[in-house]
Structure 1
Amino acid sequence: MKQHPLKTERSQVSSSTGGITWDVLIAGGGPAGAAAGLHAARLGLKALIIEKDRHPRFHIGESMLPQTSRALRRLGIEPLIQALPHVPKYGASFALGNETSLQDFEFRTGLIPEDSRTLSIERAPFDKVLLNSAAAAGASVMEGHRIRRIHRLEAGRVELVLASPEGPDITVRGDHLLDASGQGTLVGHHLRTRRTLPDFKRVAFFNHFTGVARRPGVKGGYPLAVMCDEGWFWLIPLNEEKTSIGFVMNGRDAKRIPVDYPHALDWLIQKCPLVREQTREALSPETNRVTADFSYSCRPFAGPGFFLLGDAATFIDPIFSTGVCMGLMSALKAVDLLAGARAGRCSWPSAYREYDRYISSSSSAFFDLAHLYYRHAFRELFLAGTGPLQIHRAVISLLTGNVFPRPCWAIRWRVELFKLFVRLQPFFPLASRRPRFALLDAG
């Protein structure tokens, strides 16, 4: 596929766009929206990306799955991403917060032989390259414009009202809307279809650190998840100096933290022996960032006039780093179906149904693992690192993002068996017992 050079100046679109009818309006210029605009432009569609911020801007979601690399290759921009400062990622590590040993999982040992390498990277330059590449391919980009409301949402007739930083509101029109608004869930709120999942109401505290200890060799690039009863830490190497660290916990438990939220992360780190040791010589800003981390779904994921991409469709607990992968894969699928329906290769209703199934079947595999992850029985089995009938290899394949359009049968039946083992573990130990670690009760 032809490579497009990085543009330092993105296409800026004036208020005159109000008189243009676009083939596709894209709400959001993050990875999902930029990928949709890039792919649509290369297929000859008139695409307008509307982004409320100006890039580069800070964002978490910095650890990629191997499936993400395959999506970047299809978009033709993997060399541009590889040229940015990053850390190669060949696997991931997991541990309990009161232990010193780590359990490593190498992607190459998955059940389905696929790419075994991906990367971890700061999102600001990553997202900027994607958006610049969309503009280079011919998509129009409006940065600094917030979508006030959806005025009309019908197949072939979509109207959005934008708040312009330069004057009066702007109305833009298009045939279809690709909602890549992330957790803003533009269409979900408009149609009142957003449903928060009650088991995943969490809070995340996070920041970038320097001087965090790393292991030598390729395992020094493994993201580390450190688990406790209340939640889990992530430690993600981003480049030679910088490491992203965060803690995701139940919202009810967060209320028990005896310090204010902007200082919570340092307090939590000091309560966890493993993370405290990793960060003994690390430096970070005095205050941390905070976000509500509520998982939700906005089904249907497609319908007359719209497709929901990535987090605008559904947000999964971040434990398995699925966000960017879901965003890119959903963008490619939505644009393919949209282009096919426009060309008469399929009907619009069948395109909507196929897309809805695609998002449902691929995301449900991640949701299943996320549900299990917070159970101590899962952690005991998972940290054993092996099991009968290659079950552990099937789980590793899910961790690489091998779920599109749905996990294959060889993975599905093994994961179902693993779920059965998780239910049995509290009563009939199938893996060694491990002491629970309650971080808030630690001395």
Structure 2
Amino acid sequence: MIEKQRTSVVIIGAGPSGSVAAAILKQHDVDCIVLERSTFPRFSIGESLLPACMESLKKAKLFDAVNKAGYQFKNGAAFRRNGKYTHFDFTQKYTEGEGTTFQVQRGPFDKLLADEAQKQGVEIRYQHTVTAVDVNLEKPILSVIDEQQQPYQIEADFILDASGYGRVLPRLLDLESPSGLPPRKAMFTHVTDNITENLATELNYDRNKITIYVHPKHADVWYWLIPFSNGRCSVGVVATPEFFDSYPQDEITALKQLTQEEPHLGQLFRDADFCHASGTIGGYSANVKHLAANNYAMLGNAGEFLDPVFSSGVTIAMKSAELATDVLVRQLKGEAVDWQQDYAKPLMVGVNTFRAYVEGWYDGRFQNVVFFENANPDIKKKISSILAGYAWDTNNPYVASPQKRLSTLAEICSIK
């Protein structure tokens, strides 16, 4: 006889969206169980946070622990293309809110959030894997295998899928949908960078910012450089899958070659030690047929993931946790809610804002804006707000009408 358990909310996944959602629900005395198939710490990309994440962490009462953890300080984003340099200072932005954040190795960062949620009273079950879900009942039932490979079931009032790239509910409920973005692949590693203060000064390198490089010969190929506080950094290259076919199959060898193709990055890495594991991820852009129903909702990457270029993934994940728990608490109190109007539609405001600028990056419009030499300070503050993660502030005209405003601005910036 398979044991059947009962709770109010089951959260699938203990990553940032799962921890934030669980912590917020705990503040409202909602019983929830977090099911995580892995053990923590575990590797993940998405290492450069945005200031808007800090607002979500405050709401979940997780900010103080993150602020004290000694992560690499971040106050903006720098961009380099064919010798041109520009940067955005996130403290100089249009929208109110935190203007600084951190760059983090996700293994210890995700574990910190989960540990802090547990300290608040959240129950997290590691190495528990969801194998099936029945949402056609008034109260959905999840089939689970625990760390001893023993099956059991949980009945819940509601399910929040915070499984990230695992995309548990989209897979089990056949909710997968094409993203609409062309397929791309990321190749990445961590390096011991050995960037001295003298070298950083010589090359005008600011460790307090993420740096995005555009490949000298391929405008749709870009690199990320994310420094950490321990002398390491994350470096990755994003391109179409076919782009990598002409490079060595060994990822470290390929990454060494690619970093040398960008002159500034090559100089910056002249003493770097590529001594850490590498990885690739492809086909990461994803969508779903719908984000929520009356007894389940997808958070963050479990619902939709765009592209890593503006580090929006963790921000969308945390914002979705905020929005979903707000609606869920109301529903559990007996209020009538509309998950499409109250959750999906507000969440997509920010997702579609990021989407507009991701598309603009690859088709060149947003690159024209970023590298424009005579930027209007007021407009730059509005763009800085979006890059800082405040993509839900519809008082910002570049959020309210992202495609139209970006196209107009790009046209102005392209005039010689």
Structures share a fold, TM > 0.5?
A: yes
- Would the alpha carbon gap of residues 424 and 194 (structure 1) be closer, same or farther in structure 2, given more than 3 Å must change? farther
Q: Which amino acid aligns with 2:93?
A: G
1:247 aligns with 2:229: no
Is 1:127 matched up with 2:116? no
1:222 paired residue number: 209
* Residues 155 and 397 (structure 1), Cα distance of their counterparts in 2 relative to 1, 3 Å cut: farther
- The one-letter code sitting in structure 2 at the alignment partner of 1:136 is K
C-alpha contact (below 8 Å) 2:77/2:88 kept by paired residues:
yes
Alignment map for 1:42-441 (pairs within 5 Å): 42-96=27-81, 98-99=82-83, 101-150=84-133, 152-154=134-136, 156-213=138-195, 215=200, 219-228=206-215, 229=218, 230-261=220-251, 263-285=253-275, 288-344=278-334, 346-348=335-337, 350-384=338-372, 386-388=374-376, 390-404=378-392, 406-412=393-399, 415=402, 416-422=404-410, 429-430=414-415
- State the alpha-carbon separation in 2 of the partners of residues 197 and 231 from structure 1: 20
> In 2 relative to 1, CA 390–311 (structure 1 residues): closer, same or farther, beyond 3 Å?
same
| Residue 389 of structure 1: how far off its partner (Å) | 8.1
Asked if residue 30 in structure 1 is aligned to residue 15 in structure 2, the reply is yes
Structure 2 length normalisation: TM-score? 0.91
Q: Give a deviation string over 1:393-422, Cα, whole Å, max 9, x none.
A: 221111111123x53253336743332243
| Partner deviation per Cα, 1:67-92 (whole Å, 9 max, x = no partner) | 11111111112121122231111111
CA deviation profile, 1:331-373 (whole Å, cap 9, x unmatched): 12111111111112x314x244310112211100001000011
> Do the aligned partners of 2:126 and 2:147 also contact (CA within 8 Å) in 1?
no
CA separation of 1:134 and 1:364: change in aligned 2, threshold 3 A: same
The answer to whether the 8 Å contact 1:94/1:102 transfers is yes
Shift of 1:122: 1.3
In 1, the alpha carbon distance for the partners of 2:192 and 2:6 equals 48
**SS where residue 245 of structure 1 aligns?**
strand
Alpha carbons of structure 1 residues 331 and 387: separation in structure 2 relative to 1, 3 Å: same
Task: List structure 1 runs of 4+ shifted beyond 4 angstroms.
Answer: none
How many pairs are equivalent?
Answer: 407
- Which stretch shifts more, 195-204 or 103-112? 195-204
Q: In structure 2, give the amino acid aligned to 1:202.
A: R
Q: Is the deviation greater in 75-84 or in 257-266?
A: 257-266
Q: Secondary structure at the match of 1:314?
A: coil
- Match of 2:183, SS state, is strand
Quickly say closer, same or farther: Cα 1:417–1:198, change in 2 above 3 A: closer
Decide whether aligned partners of structure 1 residues 407 and 401 sit closer, same or farther in structure 2, where only a CA change above 3 A counts: farther
Query: Quick one: distance in 2 between partners of 1:424 and 1:410?
Result: 16
Q: Offset of 1:379 from its aligned partner? A: 1.5
TM-score by length of 1: 0.85
Q: 3-state SS of the aligned residue for 1:235? A: strand
Gaps of 5+ in 1: 1-14, 432-443
Work out the CA distance in 2 between the residues paired with 1:231 and 1:148: 38
8 Å contact kept, 1:299–1:313: no
